Structure 1
Amino acid sequence: MLTVFLQTLPFFAVIVLGYGAGKTGFFPPEATAWLTRFVFYFALSAMLFGFSASMSLGDIFEPRAAAAYLLGCAVVYLVALAVAFARRRPLPEAVMEAHTAIIGNTGFLGVPMLVLLLGPQAAGTVLLVLAIDLIVFSSLLTIIITLAREGRISPDLPRVIAIGLAKNPMVVAMAAGLLWSATGLPLPGFVAATTTLLGAAATPGALFAIGASLSGNRAERLTVAGWLSAAKLVLHPLAVGAAAFWIFDVDPFAAGVLICAAALPVAGNVYILAQHYGVCVARVSAAILLSTAASVLTLPVIIARFAG
């Protein structure tokens, strides 16, 4: 446990450095935005392309693991919806809170941390979680909020969702890597070297960007944010673990990766969605801040259970 905590400490130390740089104004919001864009479109996408290009679709999509993760998410999603409805929140707010309770920072934190600490063999399962979060649940959020606000599903909605996915560089990078992998050819030397070089910037860049972006968040609405943070850090991994081990009999290593991914703090892109729809912005912002801070203690415990 202490060993894993010490291994995770540098990750959180870089987040704290980014937070300090943002809080003091040394790293202004404009710099954070551009660093995030670099990581999102280039460094992290290069890392994901490199991983995907060395795998087949079967390495990533394991039906039992996918079913276990989906079921675990569905349980927590419904619980969060029920809690929101019990507080008499409207449907768009309830859905945004449910989304917050299940979407972890898999791209910016999970991919670099879990692959490093659990081993390269964890990459396929981590990418599976990332794909489900991006494709299934982001689409679900869009559909439900659109339905709640307009009272109907627009015939144009599938096209809007498809365009949104096509514009997400992480989705494109994974798809392109899998397409290349299907050819059975190795990556050309210069391409492999370029993706390796860019990918090496993903981990420190993403962690620093997380910290810098958190410096602008405020811990408002702590009661709801505390509940959403607990749901994400505790209920989510418990539900995914129960589904993986007791219902779908997922391979123990893959089940452990699923649980570790589920234990990640709330993702920053949830805040972007909250801003886009104008729903629960303060609650989501506070949940990201609280869950990230608390995960310094909770995440090492869970990783230690399944590492090595």
Structure 2
Amino acid sequence: MSGVVSGFTVIFLVVALGYILGRTGSLGEHAASVLARMVFFVCTPALLIHSLATSDLSVVFSATLAIASASAVVVGGAYALIAKLWLRRAVPEIVIGALSSSYVNSVNLGLPIAIFVLDDASFIAPLLLFQIVFYSPVALTALDLTALGRGGASDAERTSTLKTVLVPLRNPILVGGVVGLAISLIGWTPPQAVMEPLNMLGQASVPLALLTFGLTLTGVAVFKKGQSPRRDIALASVMKMVAMPAVAYALARWGFGLTGHQLFAQVVIAALPTAQNVLVYATRYQRGEVLARDSALITTLLAIPVIALIAVTLA
């Protein structure tokens, strides 16, 4: 338990530093955007390549992949059903809400928590691959077919759909994961002159991600009356922070027979907050933007106390 407390202390201090830097404007107006792109395009791919290239493949194709995938699909599907039958939302808003309730922030908070709380970054790799290879393309295809209008599907619309499906496959984080997996699969050991720079850049991923997260917490108002779809946000937040960890626990405990640290890790992964990717998708299609933004912020603020409670119960 002391390790969990220590890990959260490290995370909190770095996030707090990012918040202070954001409030004072010390890094400039576009600091969060620049650091986020650095983490996304350089540091996290380097971390994945180095981690996976030096890992056993059984770490990726493991119970974590099955539990994370099933939890996301079950919770996202439940949200979609409730939003359709009770809230009477249109399909694009349902898709954004379903993602808000089940798409995990596996980079900005996932990696730091995996490293400092779970003491093992490999728990995140299966989740990353599932979300980028399967979950994103399916959701983006649904948005492309519904948010942009259909009628008779023209050549331009079909081309747009194809591009949307292919965009996640050009994601640098996915590329890093695939490269790392390929190196591990063929059993090749890259020269030290190649691996060392990857290791150095990868080590910068976690602190930069935490600083970026702290920077993004400044100047944001949530649940604004007359602008926020409060029922949708509340539903997505409860599904993400309560239902998804509960589903993950049931699957891990009774479906896979996991106990101890393995069970704890699966529930913590499920309790990670909504990813910022959902807001990116909502902005792209101009549907459900406030829902995605507010859900991400609320679940992010709830994540630390929820994970701390999980740690007290299961660690």
Give the whole-Å Cα distance in 2 for the aligned partners of 1:281 and 1:28.
Answer: 25
Give the whole-Å Cα distance in 1 for the aligned partners of 2:252 and 2:308.
Answer: 20
Q: Which amino acid aligns with 1:77?
A: G
Aligned in 2, Cα 1:281/1:28: closer, same or farther, shift over 3 Å?
Answer: farther
* 8 Å contact kept, 2:69–2:127: no
**1:47-100 deviation line (CA, Å, top 9, x unaligned):** 1111111124433012x4433332222221122113322112111001100101
Which of 219, 223, 226 pairs up with 2:222? 219
Q: Is 1:118 matched with 2:121? A: no
Give the whole-Å Cα distance in 2 for the aligned partners of 1:276 and 1:80.
Answer: 22
Q: Which amino acid aligns with 2:145?
A: L
Match of 1:195?
198
Q: Which amino acid aligns with 1:140?
A: V
* 8 Å contact kept, 1:217–1:285: no
Q: Is 1:178 matched with 2:181? A: yes
* 8 Å contact kept, 1:72–1:242: no
Match of 1:128?
126
Q: Can you give the 5+ residue segments of structure 1 that lack an aligned partner in the other structure?
A: none
Percent identical among aligned pairs is 26
Q: Is 1:58 matched with 2:66? A: no
Match of 1:167?
170
Aligned in 2, Cα 1:261/1:216: closer, same or farther, shift over 3 Å?
Answer: same
Match of 1:278?
286
Deviation at 1:132, TM superposition (A): 1.0
Give the whole-Å Cα distance in 1 for the aligned partners of 2:54 and 2:312.
Answer: 27
Aligned-CA RMSD value: 2.4
Count of aligned positions: 304
Match of 2:244?
236
* 8 Å contact kept, 1:44–1:108: no
Match of 1:80?
79
* 8 Å contact kept, 1:69–1:240: yes
The alignment's TM-score, normalised by the length of structure 1, stands at 0.88
* 8 Å contact kept, 2:100–2:274: yes
Q: Which amino acid aligns with 2:110?
A: G
| Stretch moving more, 178-187 or 91-100 | 178-187
Deviation at 1:177, TM superposition (A): 0.8
Match of 1:246?
254
Q: Is 1:208 matched with 2:211? A: yes
Give the whole-Å Cα distance in 2 for the aligned partners of 1:67 and 1:200.
Answer: 28
| Stretch moving more, 45-54 or 17-26 | 17-26
**1:133-187 deviation line (CA, Å, top 9, x unaligned):** 1222111211211222444886546742553133211100011111111232323
Q: Can you give the 5+ residue segments of structure 2 that lack an aligned partner in the other structure?
A: none
* 1:281-296 paired onto structure 2 within 5 Å: 281-296=289-304
Greater helix content:
1
Aligned in 2, Cα 1:12/1:268: closer, same or farther, shift over 3 Å?
Answer: farther
Deviation at 1:252, TM superposition (A): 5.8
Which of 276, 281, 300 pairs up with 1:268? 276
Give the whole-Å Cα distance in 2 for the aligned partners of 1:240 and 1:212.
Answer: 30
Q: Which amino acid aligns with 1:144?
A: A
* 8 Å contact kept, 1:126–1:258: no
SS in 1 for 2:30: helix
Deviation at 1:207, TM superposition (A): 0.6
